[in-house]
Chains A and B, each alone.
Chain A
Amino acid sequence: MTVILELEHVVKRFGGLVATNDMSFEVAKGESVGLIGPNGAGKTTIFSLIMGEHKADSGSIRLHGEELTKLATHKRIRRGVARTYQVPRPFADMDVLANIEVGLMPDSIMAMIFTAPADEEARAIARSVGLNDADLHRDPAELSMGDLRKLELARTLATKPEVMLLDEVFAGLTAGEIEQISGLLNEKRQEGMTYVIVSHDLRSLEPLIDRAIAMTQGTFVCQGDYATVMSDEAVRMAYLGH
Chain B
Amino acid sequence: MSTQITWKHLALWALFLGGMALLPMLVGKGTLRTIIFANYLAIFAMSWDVLSGRTGYISFGHPFLIGIGAYTTAILSYRFDVPVGISIPVAVIVTMAAGTLFFLPALRIKGTYFALVTLAFMELMYQLVQVIRPDLTGGTRGISGVQTLTRGAVNGYYLSLALMGVIAISLWAMMKTRLGTALSAIGMNEEAVEGSGLNTTKLKLFAFMVGAGVAGIGGAFYVHYLGSIAPRALFDINFLFTIIVAALIGGASTIIGPMAGAFFLTFLLEYLRPFLPGAERYFIYGSIALILYMYEPKGLYEILRKARERLTGANA
Are these two chains actual partners, yes or no? yes
Q: A95 touching B202 by the CB < 8 A rule?
A: no
Contacts of A72 in B (CB 8 A): 194, 199, 201
Residue of A nearest to B193 (CB): A102
Quick check: is A4 within 8 A (CB to CB) of the other chain? no
Q: Bound state CA distance, A72 and B185, in angstroms?
A: 19
Q: Is B184 an interface residue (CB 8 A)?
A: yes
Most B C-beta atoms less than 10 A away, residue of A91, A92, A94, A159 = A91
A101–B197 contact, CB under 8 A? no
> Please, what's the 1-or-0 string for A37-74, where 1 marks a CB less than 8 Å from any CB in chain B?
00000000000000101000000000000000000111
Contact B2 A73, beta carbon cutoff 8 Å: no
B189 contacts A by Cβ under 8 Å: yes
Give the segment of A28-36, A103-111, A207-215, A231-239 that binds chain B. A103-111
Q: Most B CB atoms within 10 A — which of A74, A78, A94?
A: A74
Within 8 A of A (CB), among B180-197: 181-182, 184-185, 188-189, 191-197
Number of A residues near B (Cβ < 8 Å) is: 34
Task: Report the bound CA distance from A32 to B1 in whole Å.
Answer: 36
| Cα distance A113–B203 in the bound complex, in angstroms | 12
Whole-angstrom distance between the Cβ of A88 and the nearest chain B Cβ = 10
Assess whether B200 is interfacial by the CB under 8 Å rule: yes
Residue numbers in B under 8 Å from A159 (CB-CB): 196-197
Q: How many residues of B sit at the interface, in one of the four size bands?
A: 20 to 34
- The CA of A74 and the CA of B197, in the complex, are separated in Å by 4
Contacting pair B177 A102 (CB below 8 A): no
Residue B162 CB within 8 A of the other chain = no
Residue B291, interface by CB 8 Å = no
* Inter-subunit contact A107/B197 (CB<8 Å): yes
Task: List A contacts of B197 (CB < 8 A).
Answer: 74, 77-78, 82, 103, 105, 107, 159
Tell me the minimal C-beta distance from B249 to chain A in angstroms: 18
Task: List 5 A-B pairs, minimum CB-CB distance, nearest first.
Answer: A98-B1, A77-B197, A117-B2, A112-B179, A112-B178
23 A-B contacts (beta carbon < 8 Å): A53-B195, A77-B197, A82-B195, A89-B189, A90-B192, A91-B184, A91-B188, A94-B181, A94-B185, A98-B2, A102-B182, A102-B185, A102-B193, A102-B196, A102-B198, A103-B196, A105-B198, A109-B179, A109-B202, A113-B178, A115-B178, A117-B1, A159-B196
Residues of A at the B interface (CB closer than 8 Å) are: 51, 53, 72-74, 77-78, 82-83, 89-95, 97-98, 101-103, 105, 107, 109, 112-117, 119, 155, 158-159
Chain B residues with a Cβ under 8 A of chain A: 1-2, 4, 174, 177-179, 181-182, 184-185, 188-189, 191-203, 206, 253
